[in-house]
Amino acid sequence: MVQFDNQYKQVKLKIVYYGPALGGKTTSLQYIHRVTDPQRRTKLYALNTASDRTLFFDLLGVDLGRIRGYRLTLQLYTVPGQVQYNATRRAVLAGADGVVFVADSRRDQLEANRESLANLRENLLANSLDLETLPLVLQYNKRDMPDAMPRAELEAALNRRGLPAFDTVATSGEGIIEAFAAVTEATVRTVAQRLGIASQPEAVRRLIDNVRTAMDPLLPRRRGEAVEAPTVLRPTSASPALAGDELVAEAVRANVAMTDLNAQLDRLSQELTRRVSQLRAIAEFTRAVTFTSAPEEVTRGFLERLLAELGAPCGSLQLIGEGGAPVEVQRRGLAEDPLLRASGEGSPARVVTTTRQPWAVHLPDVEPSQLLASPWLEEIAALELESALMVPLLAHDQLLGLATAYAGSLRPPFSEEELDLASIFAGVAATALDGARSWQQLEDLNRSLEQRVAERTRELAQALERQRALADELEVRNAQLEQANRQLSELERLKSELLQRVAHELNTPVTSIQTAARILSKYSELPADKAAKFVAIIQQDAARLAGLIASALEAAVLGVAGTPVDAGTVSVSELFKGVLAPFRGEIAEKGITLQVKVAAGLSELRADASQLEAALRAIIKNAVEFNRPNGSITITVRPLRREARSFVEMRIEDSGNGIPAGDLPYVCDPFWQGGNLLTSKPRGLGLGLAVARRVARNHGGDLEISSSEGSGTTVSLLIAAQGRGVS
C-alpha cells in the first residue's frame, strides 16, 4: 500500500520478493543492495535464523528520486519460504504494492513453486489483495543450474497470464536488476493509476522515465562481486516456531515497524550531521562578516560561501539600492543570470521581492506548458542547469538584495532545508551589510559634519567680524550724530538767546519813549525842566533805535554775498581818524592807551571807504567796550604775504576780557553776543563782527580773530593789496 509521509515528503512503495524456500530471494535483494548507490539506499536489514535462512524478511530501501516534490522510495522485502512460516509471510505481504515471484528453475522444485504461488494468492486474499491486479513479475532463478527446466516449460507451468518473467542467476546478479526495474515500473504505473494521474499520460511517462533513469546506472555494474554481509537484527520475540500464528504476526509487524524506524534513524542521523555542518558554516560566516565595516567584504564573502554550502557551481548576488533599483551584480560561473534578468509579472525576482520568501525550481518537475510560458526557465534549461533558487537579503524588513544559485543534473534538486540554509545565509549577510552600510554612513556623516562645523565656524567668524565693523561704524556715526545734535541744540539755544537780545535791545528804548511820551501828554502842567528831561529821554532813545536800525540795515546790505565794492583810493590816516573819532571820549574816559602803527610807505589803500569804515568801527567798538580801565588798544597796518598773495593787514589788539575759546567760532555770526544773557549788558544787535568779516571777504580777504580769555583779543582785517605803496 502506498504510504505518504508528509513530514519527509516521501512516497513509499512496498515490493515483496516471494517464492519457495531457498529460491534466491535474499540473494536477489543482496545483489540489488550491493549495486545501488549507497547515497540512495538504506542498509540491508535481515532477520536470520542461525542456519542463514531468512527467518522473517529482508528489507532494503531504494530511493528513486523526486516526483512532484515527493521522494519516491521503494521498500523491498523478502519472506521466509519455509512452509511453517506462513503467518510471517502473510504479515510481510500486508500493504504490498508489487510482488516479485522468485521461482526455483530446478525441476525438482516445480511443485514447491506451484505451492508457493498458490500460497501467495491465498495470503494476498487474506490481505485483501488480488493476485490478478497486483503488479507481479517472475524471476526464473538458478538458470545456471544443470537441472534447470526450460523456460517454456516454466512459463507453461507458472505464467499462464504471460506476466513479465526474467531468467536470473541471483548469485551473479544476472537479470536481477531487469526484474527489479520491471516490477518497479509496473508498481509505479499502478500507483499512478490509483493516485489519479493516469489520465495524464505525459506525467505517467515522466514518472516511468524517472524510474528507468534510476535503474539505468545499475544494470551493467560490478556484476559478480562479493555480496555485502547484511546487518543482522536480533529478533524481538521468542522463536516463532514455538509461538502461535497470531503471536508471530504481531512480532513481524513490530519488527517491520522497528526496521522502518531504524531506517528513519539512519536518515535522521545523516541529516543531523549535515545540519550540524551547515550550522557550523553559518556560524563561521556570521563571525566573519558581522563586525565588518566594508560592505564589499560582506557581499564577496557571502556569494562564495552560499555557493560552496549549496554545492552549486554558479549563482549571482544583486544588491538593491534605495527605491528598489538594482545597483550591483556579482556573478560566479555565469555571464548572465536568467532569474535576475527576468523582471516581468510572475518573474522570480518580482515574486521574491513581493513575498520576501525564498523561491526554488527544479526543471524536470515543471510542466512543459509552464516551461514554455516562462522564458527564464527556458534559459536555465539552455544553460544545462536543472535546479535554481533565489533568496532575498532582508534586514529590518528592508530588501537589500537577491541571491541566486544554480545546479545541474549532477546533484539532486535544492531541498527545503537547503532553501532554509540559503535564507539564513542571506539574512546574516543582509544584517551584516546593513550594519556595514550604517557604519559607513555614520563615518560619512561624521566627516561631512566636521566639514560643515568648520565651514559654519568660518562663516560665523566672518559674520562676527562684519558685525563688529558695523558696530564700530555705528558707534562713529552715533558719536557724529550726537555731536550734530549737541551742535543743533546749542544753535537752537543761541538762536533763542539772539532773539531775546534783539527783543530786549528794541523793546527797552521803545518802552522809555512810550512812557516819556505818555507823561508829557498826561501831565500837561509839568515844570519846564521836567518836561525837557522827558523830551531828552525820547530823543536819546529814538537815536538809539535809529542807530540799531541803521546797523541792521548796514548788515543786511553787506550781508548779501558779492556786494559790489565801490573801490577808491583811501588814505590810511584819514580812514583811522574818521573811524576813531566817535570813540575818543570813551577811550579817554577809560584811560585807554591807543597806538596806531602804519608800515612805512603804506599811506593809501585801494578799497571801498564806507565798507572799510563800518568794519573797522565795529572792531574798534568791541576793543573799547570790552577793554579794562587803563588798558591798551594797538592798531597795526602792514603788508602781508600769504600763500603767494599780497594782503594789507589791519590788526587791532586790545587788552580786554578776551573771548572764551568756546565762543570763538560764533563771534562772527550775526546777532551773536557773548556773556550771560540776563546779567551782561552789551549794547547793540551783535552784528559788528559779522559785518567786518563780510567787508573783508568783499575785498578778497578775511577776518581772523585770536583771543585768550582775560588777556585780550586780536582781530586782523585782511584785504587784498591793490593800493600804492604795497609791493
Among 537, 548, 614, 615, binds other proteins (CB under 8 A): 537
Whether 187 contacts 135, CB under 8 Å: yes
In 3D space, the residue among 267, 268, 302 whose CA is nearest the CA of residue 282 turns out to be 302
* Site for other proteins contains 499 (CB under 8 A): yes
Query: What's the closest the beta carbon of residue 586 comes to other proteins, in angstroms?
Result: 17
Shortest reach from residue 591's CB to other proteins, in Å:
21
Nearest to 77 by CA among 138, 18, 165: 18
Using the minimum distance from each CB to other proteins, give the nearer residue, 293 or 540.
Answer: 540
Q: Interacting stretch for other proteins, rule CB under 8 A, among 377-385, 414-422, 453-461, 507-515? A: 507-515
Q: Which residue has the cell 516463532?
A: 240
**Strand 593-598 relative to strand 165-167, pairing:** unpaired
Size of the site for other proteins (CB under 8 A): 30
Task: Tell me how far, at minimum, the Cβ of 518 lies from other proteins, in Å.
Answer: 5
Task: Pick between residue 107 and residue 590 the one whose CB is nearest to other proteins.
Answer: 590
Which one of residues 294, 308, 488, 503 is an interface residue with other proteins (CB under 8 A)?
503
Cβ contacts of 350 within 8 Å, gap of 6 or more:
343, 344
- Element spanning 727, H or E: none
Cβ at position 559, least distance to other proteins in Å? 23
Asked if 532 is part of the footprint of other proteins (rule: CB under 8 A), the reply reads no
Verify binding: residue 671, other proteins, rule CB under 8 A: no
The answer to whether residue 539 forms part of the interface with other proteins (CB under 8 A) is no
DSSP state at residue 63: E
DSSP state, residue 627:
P
Q: What angle (nearest 5°) sits at the alpha carbon of residue 49, between those of residues 48 and 53?
A: 75
Is the Cβ of residue 493 or residue 724 nearer to other proteins in the bound state?
A: 493
By the rule CB under 8 A, 523 interacts with other proteins: yes
Distances (CA, A) of 257 to 207, 253, 261, 452, 504: 28, 6, 6, 76, 145
Q: Does 354 bind other proteins (CB under 8 A)?
A: no
- Identify which of residues 560 and 678 has a Cβ nearer to other proteins in the complex: 678
Q: Which is nearer to other proteins, 542 or 640 (CB)?
A: 542
| Gyration radius from the chain CA atoms | 70
Helix axes 86-93, 245-289, angle to 10 degrees: 40
**AA identity, residue 17:** Y
Residue 685 contacts other proteins per CB under 8 A:
no
302 and 318 Cβ atoms separated by less than 8 Å: no
* One-letter amino acid of 240: P
Q: What are phi and psi of 15, to 5 degrees?
A: -120, 125
Residue with cell 514455538: 242
71: three-class secondary structure by DSSP: strand
684 is a site residue for other proteins (CB under 8 A): no
Q: Please report whether residue 516 would count as binding other proteins according to CB under 8 A.
A: yes
Please report how close the Cβ of residue 620 comes to other proteins at its closest, in angstroms.
24
User: Contacting other proteins (CB under 8 A), which of 61, 95, 413, 509?
Assistant: 509
In whole angstroms, how close is the CB of 527 to other proteins at the nearest point? 12
Q: Which is nearer to other proteins, 437 or 533 (CB)?
A: 533
The only residue of 399, 565, 677, 720 in contact with other proteins, by rule CB under 8 A? 677
Cβ pair 279, 421 in contact under 8 A: no
Q: Does 504 bind other proteins (CB under 8 A)?
A: yes
> d(Cα 655, Cα 708) in Å, to the nearest integer?
10
Q: Which of 286, 540, 603, 714 binds other proteins (CB under 8 A)?
A: 540
Binding site for other proteins (CB under 8 A): 496, 499-500, 503-504, 507-512, 514-516, 518-519, 522-523, 530, 533-534, 537, 540-541, 676-681
